[in-house]
Amino acid sequence: MSSVPEELRKVTVPVVRSARDAGIRIVMLTAYDAPTARLLDEAGVDILLVGDSVGNNVLGYDSTLPVTMDEMLHHTRAVVRGARRALVVADMPYLSYQTGRRDAVRNAGRFIKDAGAAAVKIEGGRRRAALVRALLDAEIPVMGHIGLTPQSVHVMGGYRVQGKRVDEARALIEDARALEEAGIFSLVLEGMPEPVGRAVTAAVGTPTIGIGAGRYCDGQVLVFHDFAGFNPGPPPRFARRYADLNAVIGDAARRFIADVRQGSFPSESEVYSAPTPLTSDRRPGRG
Ligand code: KIV
């Protein structure tokens, strides 16, 4: 009996945990809806993160802070429906876990039980270690996230690169170790100098997934709208644009407008015909 080819094998939490030992660089993208999830999954992306960045990228908020549990559950269900092979990780929104362990376990459990995600992600370093243990006690795998953590925007005084000072870099290493000790299966490193991303990665056995954290992480993640050029303005320094959806969709809309105004859409091949003429010889498009 032939074995299942590697690229078709379902990505699970243990598969991600062992990625570094297997010499595989982890590929993660955010996804917020079913058709995008299906496309990214079929292309071979390993992890689909239903990021709370849905707030800025899809829902029109200024930050991730207003995003609610209901919004995250809604988008997570959609991504789960679109994914087959990829691991779906749901981001816990602001105040869904900072308010205590009971809230955190109940809310994280909803992502697993009601929405079908395989794991959750929470932001914060060693002060979240006890919470990671509580989630694992409830059989909920946890992805950590340290460095530039957008839910702490007001504490950080803006979206600033973290770990530039030696003491801050050391603190990030301690955070990573504490989260590893608590049992996370992977760790997002966001917005830190490359040497710090490298040092944190070297300090833990848990695979790290970087975004603006340099080349030495075990994997990389991009926000879908940065990756696909679906945000106005230039992409952030750390992001690479792999497509220009702004141009593609803007151009398509302008061509549609022109076609409708000129009366060239719909054409004869784009209409339903009836067996007998029902109307007189009115000009198409004028009622
Ligand atoms: O919400 C998000 O998109 C994230 C990524 C930046 C890792 O947390």
CATH code, domain with 181: 3.20.20.60
Task: State the average pLDDT over residues 110-127.
Answer: 98
Asked, for residue 277, whether it belongs to a domain, the answer is: no
CA of 53 to the centre of ligand 1 (A): 6
CB of 83 within 8 A of CB of 29? Answer: no
| Position 232 confidence tier, pLDDT thresholds 50, 70, 90 | confident
> Does the beta carbon of 30 lie inside 6 Å of ligand 1?
yes
Q: Residues of the chain with pLDDT > 90: what percent?
A: 91
- Residue nearest atom 2 of ligand 1, based on CA coordinates: 51
Q: Going by CA atoms, what residue is nearest to atom 6 of ligand 1? A: 223
Residue 19 lies in a domain: yes
Q: Are 28 and 53 in contact (CB under 8 A)?
A: no
Task: For residue 57, give the ligand 1 atom closest to its CA.
Answer: 3
Which pLDDT belongs to residue 286?
A: 55
Task: Dump pLDDT digits (tens) for 160-177.
Answer: 999 999 999 999 999 999
* Residue 52 CB less than 6 A away from ligand 1: yes
Per-residue pLDDT at 32 exceeds 90: yes
Q: Mean pLDDT, to the nearest integer, of 198-212?
A: 98
137 located within any domain: yes
36 lies in a domain? yes
CA separation, residue 30 to residues 51, 62, 118 (Å): 6, 18, 15
What is the crossing angle of helices 69-82 and 101-113, to 10°? 30
Per-residue pLDDT averaged across 228-242, rounded? 94
Is the Cβ atom of 223 under 6 angstroms away from ligand 1?
yes
Q: Is residue 72 a part of any domain in this protein?
A: yes
* More confident position, 148 or 4: 148
Q: How many domains is the chain partitioned into structurally?
A: 1
91 ligand 1 Cβ < 6 A: yes
CB 169 within 8 A of CB 199: yes
Q: Whose CA is nearest to atom 1 of ligand 1?
A: 51
Judge if the beta carbon of residue 226 lies within 6 A of ligand 1: no
Ligand 1 centre and the CA of 247: distance in Å? 24
Residue 51 structural domain: 6-227
* Closest by Cα among 68, 38, 39 to 54: 68
H-state helical runs in the chain: 13-17, 19-22, 34-43, 54-57, 69-82, 101-113, 129-137, 153-156, 166-182, 194-203, 224-227, 245-262
More confident residue, 278 or 30: 30
More confident residue, 285 or 209: 209
| SS3 of 221-279 | EECHHHHCCCCCCCCCCCCCCCCCHHHHHHHHHHHHHHHHHHCCCCCHHHCCCCCCCCC
pLDDT band at 276 (very low <50, low <70, confident <90, very high): confident
Q: What is the DSSP letter of 10?
A: P
Measured CA to CA, the distance from residue 50 to residue 165 in angstroms comes to 31
Residue 134 lies in a domain: yes
Ligand 1 centroid to 149 CA: how many Å?
Answer: 9
**186 domain residue, yes or no:** yes
Strand-pairing partners, residue 189, are 146, 210
Answer yes or no: is 74 within a domain. yes
Ligand 1 atom closest to the CA of 30, numbered from 1: 3
Which atom of ligand 1 approaches the CA of 223 most closely? 3
- Identity of the amino acid at 71: E
What pLDDT score was predicted for residue 1?
45
CB 83 within 8 A of CB 37: yes
Residue located via tokens 């590929």: 27
CA 159 to centroid of ligand 1, rounded, Å: 13
Ligand 1 in contact with 123 (CB < 6 A)?
Answer: no
Residue 18 reports pLDDT greater than 70: yes
Task: Tokens for 81, please give them.
Answer: 């429906």
Task: Please tell me the residue having the least CA distance from ligand 1 atom 8.
Answer: 51
To the question of pTM greater than 0.85 for the whole model, the response is: yes
